[in-house]
Amino acid sequence: MATITKRELVIKISNETGLTQQQVFDVIQRTLDSITDSLSNGDTVVMRNFGAFQVKETKAKIGRNPKDPDKDVPIPARAVVKFKPGKEMKEQVARTLPLIRERQK
């Protein structure tokens, strides 16, 4: 499986739309900044057919130090971003299972 970087995404969209790479980069960066700002304000970001980003709180818990399992390590509560894929994304990704299995051989 390949890893797609923001740069590769910019180039692909630029080639498909005819917009300059700088224009595409600016739109993508502003989109990501806007999503981040909304999430940091505690808002949920929903993009129909893609998915929803939402901030959830993880509870405080006690962890273990792998190098010294007898010692407890407190892990504080924190805010984390969760993503729930939309219906169309779920369906499209579900169809890739045969490809994933083939690449693992």
What are the chain's domains? 6-104 (4.10.520.10)
Axis crossing angle, helix 21-40 with helix 6-17, rounded to the nearest 10: 130
pTM of the predicted protein model: 0.77
Contacts of residue 46, defined as CB under 8 A and 6 or more positions apart, other chains included, come to 52
Task: Provide φ and ψ at 76, rounded to 5°.
Answer: -70, 160
Is residue 86 within 8 A of residue 47, CB to CB? The reply is yes
Q: What is the pLDDT of residue 60?
A: 95
Q: What is the pLDDT of residue 104?
A: 74
Q: What is the pLDDT of residue 1?
A: 64
Strand, helix or coil at 49?
Answer: coil
Q: What is the pLDDT of residue 71?
A: 87
Q: What is the Cα–Cα distance from 105 to 103, expressed in whole angstroms?
A: 5
Given a cut of 50, the residues of the chain with pLDDT beneath it are: none
